[in-house]
Amino acid sequence: MKRYLVIILLTLSFTAQAQPNLNHYKYIIVPEKFAFLKQPNQYNLNGITKALFEDMGFTVYFDDASLPTEIASDRCKALTADIDEKNSMFVTNLTVLLKDCKGTVVLKSKEGKSREKEYKTSYNLALRDAFSSLSDFRYTAGSTPEASVPTPTAPIKEVKTESTPSPATQPITTETKPLEAVLYAQATANGYQLVDATPKIVMTLFKTSVEDCFIASNGNANGVVLKKNGNWFFEYYKNNVMVSEKLSVKF
């Protein structure tokens, strides 16, 4: 049990680091066509990218659109989105990048994966899987990005947040959630991705040195998936309360 607690605390410490302050930037520019595609907005990847960044609170324009004077006269007030493709024979791998006006990467997602055979489905699932790791990065209206834009030649510095209180000084309260629908495990290079019957990727699991224990992320929370008394549970912290969700997983 001590080893599981250590893994949970390590997971929380990872997510508390390296969070760039995206409030320096209000605008994101999405290219009409990514370099690895043959046609503009092929598989609707450019449109989905624009929509997902808008969901994160940013004002997003395609690079072929008429840009507002504010960023048309100074492109350093906007970030440019890009997608890096590294596909293998059976897996689609996409990574989302945000670059400043000098081409410096200021934000990089995890490598989103999909094993679907149909291109449009596979690219869409991989893109959404990549975006799931960016759920903590948002633009909050009301900030003053124009007055605090950093020097474009330097990458955004890491901003450290307060560490999670030590279990020795704060009691652990557990909230148990009911069993969800059946999930199906699909093997990846570093663990598994859990999909529902749609199929939609619900959670990503990463192997650890402990048997039947995985570092896990569902896009909204990061924690561990572990096996206890023959059952699988997703455990994570929310508002200083440890939540335990029972899972039904078919490996």
CA–CA distance, 65 with 224 (Å, rounded to integer): 43
Radius of gyration of the chain (CA): 20
- How is the chain split into domains, by residue range? 2-15+162-250, 22-148
Token pair of 22 as six digits = 């995206």
Confidence band, pLDDT 50/70/90 cuts, at residue 7? low
CA–CA distance, 87 with 35 (Å, rounded to integer): 14
Predicted confidence (pLDDT) at residue 37 exceeds the cutoff of 80:
yes
Predicted confidence (pLDDT) at residue 180 exceeds the cutoff of 80:
no
Give the per-residue pLDDT at 155: 45
Average pLDDT (179-183) is 74
Q: Which fold has domain 22-148?
A: Rossmann fold (3.40.50)
47-51, 78-82, 144-148, 228-232: range with lowest mean pLDDT: 144-148
pLDDT in tens, 84-109: 999 888 899 999 999 998 999 988 99
CA–CA distance, 19 with 13 (Å, rounded to integer): 12
Token pair of 103 as six digits = 């081409």
Give the per-residue pLDDT at 119: 85
Q: Which distant-in-sequence residues (6+ apart) come within 8 Å of 67 by Cβ?
A: 29, 61
* Torsion 144-148-151-156 (CA) sign: negative
CB 174 within 8 A of CB 8: no
